[in-house]
């Protein structure tokens, strides 16, 4: 039997879970954070406003499908950074139902997920689409176009169980995962995103909710954006990277208390900026990451 569900949420302050900027700019730059979400018990999310979501699932089966409708973040704001513009200019309270050029965004996802059990490894495969009806800059033609699609696929599998004796502890172990995301290059500066990750959840029995992860990700630059930047280099003095950027991240997340998590990490990025000044060449970046999360 199929089981249906409908939920409605008021606009929260945007958070960067899931593949960020998907709702705001259809840019696939960022991390999927699939491992971190397992710690906090959340599904993949994108940055968005409040939304209405419906889903169906087969009783006692791992197959599910869900569809959501929400308001996009405002596109082409004062700074061009959809997250910054939303919190600084458009939606400081986090409860504005309308923002400039923030049109309906439709998302759909279908997947297969089984929870870990004694002798049964956890698996989660999901794929989805997005359609944002806001107006986007077309880097190929120089026009403003409405209605831009995007898509993604993610997969995670448990490789090793550290405590397989109980359904309550079978989740502890070693996992591997991968991500691929896409948006049209004429609308997104970073139009492809790929990630490979290896992570351990509950590595120590005394810390069953802690997470240690290592990930590699690659952002691919839009050729239209690269060409536009380089054509204007004689005037601006800025040149564009040619292909994409690679990042390597080692991080850990500790459960401090029920619903409270602290994360610390180190990340190396070989091309931290899409542009670089003439005569200086490419920079490299070594970033220290710190985050605190409270789940209510």
Assign residue 172 the CATH number of its domain. Answer: 2.40.160
Query: Alpha-carbon distance 138 to 145, whole Å?
Result: 6
Length of the chain counted residue by residue: 296
Contacts of 28 (CB under 8 A, 6+ apart): 19, 21, 22, 150, 152, 181, 182, 183, 188, 190, 191, 192, 193, 219
Per-block mean pLDDT, blocks of 10 residues, the chain (296 long): 50 35 41 48 41 60 89 78 75 76 90 94 96 91 91 97 95 97 94 97 94 97 93 89 91 92 95 82 86 86
The total number of structural domains in the chain stands at 1
Give the residue numbers spanning the domain of 65: 2-294
Query: Alpha-carbon distance 134 to 132, whole Å?
Result: 6
> Can you give the pLDDT at residue 283?
77
> Can you give the pLDDT at residue 61?
74
Cα 184 to chain centroid distance, Å, stands at 17
> Can you give the pLDDT at residue 98?
79
Query: Alpha-carbon distance 296 to 293, whole Å?
Result: 10
Query: 68-97: b or e for each residue (b if 16 or more CB lie within 10 Å)?
Result: bebbbbbbbbeeeebbebbbeebbeeeebe
Query: Alpha-carbon distance 198 to 185, whole Å?
Result: 29
> Can you give the pLDDT at residue 50?
53
Q: pLDDT tens digits, residue range 214-266?
A: 999 999 999 999 999 999 988 888 888 778 999 999 999 999 988 899 999 99
**Strand ranges of the sheet holding 211-221, from the earlier edge strand across to the other edge:** 2-8, 51-58, 63-71, 104-114, 123-137, 144-161, 173-182, 190-201, 211-221, 244-257, 260-269, 285-294
Query: Alpha-carbon distance 175 to 62, whole Å?
Result: 19
For residue 249, give both structure tokens.
Answer: 């991240």
pTM over 0.85: no
């Amino acid at each position: 039997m199929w089981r249906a569900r409908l939920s409605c949420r008021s606009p929260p302050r945007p958070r960067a879970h899931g593949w960020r900027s998907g709702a705001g700019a259809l840019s696939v730059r960022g991390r999927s954070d699939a491992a971190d979400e397992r710690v906090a018990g959340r599904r993949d999310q994108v940055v968005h406003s409040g939304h209405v979501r419906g889903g169906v699932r087969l009783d006692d089966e791992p197959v599910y499908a869900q569809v959501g409708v929400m308001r996009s973040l405002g596109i082409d704001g004062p700074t061009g950074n959809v997250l910054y513009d939303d919190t600084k200019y458009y939606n400081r309270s986090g409860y504005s139902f309308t923002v400039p050029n923030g049109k309906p965004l439709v998302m759909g996802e279908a997947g297969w997920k089984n929870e870990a059990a004694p002798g049964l490894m956890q698996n989660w495969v999901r794929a989805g689409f997005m359609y944002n009806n806001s107006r986007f800059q077309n880097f190929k033609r120089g026009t403003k176009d409405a209605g831009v699609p995007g898509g993604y696929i993610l997969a995670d599998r448990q490789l090793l169980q550290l405590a397989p004796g109980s359904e309550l502890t079978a989740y502890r172990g070693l996992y591997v995962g991968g991500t691929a995301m896409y948006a049209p290059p004429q609308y997104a500066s970073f139009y492809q995103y790929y990630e490979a990750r290896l992570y351990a959840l509950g590595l120590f029995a005394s810390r069953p909710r802690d997470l240690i992860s290592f990930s590699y990700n690659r952002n691919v630059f839009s050729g239209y954006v690269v060409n536009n930047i380089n054509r204007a280099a004689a005037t601006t003095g800025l040149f564009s990277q040619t292909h994409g950027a690679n990042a390597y991240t080692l991080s850990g997340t500790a459960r401090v208390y029920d619903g409270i998590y602290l994360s610390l990490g180190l990340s190396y990025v070989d091309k931290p900026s899409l542009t670089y000044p003439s005569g200086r060449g490419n920079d490299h970046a070594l970033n220290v990451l710190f985050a605190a999360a409270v789940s209510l």
